[in-house]
Amino acid sequence: MPARSAIVGMVIALSAVACGSGGDPPSPVAADALPGEAGDVVELDTTFVAGDAIDFAELEGILEDAGFAGGTQRVFAQSQGARQQRSLARVLAFADADGAQAYLDWLEEHVDEVIGTAELLDPPDLPGVAFLALSDSDCCPKATRVYLVAWRRDSSVLTLEVGGDGVDEDLVAELARDLDGAVTL
C-alpha cells in the first residue's frame, strides 16, 4: 500500500506540472488604488485574457506556455461635470519572470489589438515599464484617446488602460505610479 500512495502522489504532482498551474493568482487591485469609483474585482482566466487578441488561439498558447496563473482587474470611473475618465487596472500572474516577459513582449507587439491603432510613446519613469501606447483617436470626432501602459514586477504583469477627457501622458504616469505602489505581490 505505501508504494501505491507514493505513485498516486507522484501522478498528482506531475499532473499539476503538466497542466501549467503556475503560481498563485494575484491579489485584487484595492478599491482605493486609483481615483474614482471602483468597480467590482473581476477574476481573469486564460480565456478572458486571450479575448484581447484578434488571434485568440495565438495568445491563448502564449499564456499557457508562459505559465499564466490568473489575474484580476478593476475599473475605476470618474466624472467631474462633463469630464469623464475611465481606468482599467490589471494584474496578471505567471509561473516565473520569463513567462511574464513573454506576455509583455506579445502585448507590446500587438497593442493595436487591445486599444486600436496606436503609437508607442516614451514610457514613464517607473521600474520595469515596457511601453506606453496611445490610441489613434482621429477616426471619429467623438472618440477619446486611450493610453495603455504595461510593466513587469517579478513574475507579474501590470497594465493600466486610461481614457477620457483631459487624459495625458503625465496623468497616466502618475496613475501608473499609484497603481504600482498599491499592488502587493
**CATH code, domain carrying 111:** 3.40.1000.70
Average pLDDT over residues 24-38: 90
Which amino acid, residue 101?
A: Q
**What is the domain range of residue 172?**
23-182
pLDDT at site 82: 66
The predicted model scores a pTM of: 0.82
In a domain, 27, yes or no: yes
Q: Which three cell numbers stand for residue 89?
A: 487596472
In a domain, 171, yes or no: yes
In a domain, 9, yes or no: no
User: What is the distance between the alpha carbons of residues 76 and 121, in angstroms, rounded to a whole number?
Assistant: 23
User: In this predicted model, what pLDDT tens digit does every residue of 111-140 receive, in sequence order?
Assistant: 988 888 888 888 887 777 788 888 876 556
In a domain, 15, yes or no: no
**Is a pLDDT exceeding 80 seen at residue 18?**
no
Provide the domain count of the chain.
1
Residue 26: pLDDT band (50, 70, 90) is confident
Which amino acid, residue 148?
A: L
In a domain, 73, yes or no: yes
Cell 475605476 -> residue = 76
User: What is the distance between the alpha carbons of residues 123 and 133, in angstroms, rounded to a whole number?
Assistant: 8
In a domain, 76, yes or no: yes
In a domain, 11, yes or no: no
Residue 3: pLDDT band (50, 70, 90) is very low
User: What is the distance between the alpha carbons of residues 156 and 39, in angstroms, rounded to a whole number?
Assistant: 22
Q: Please, are residues 162 and 175 in contact by the beta-carbon 8 Å criterion?
A: yes
User: What is the distance between the alpha carbons of residues 76 and 70, in angstroms, rounded to a whole number?
Assistant: 21
In a domain, 4, yes or no: no
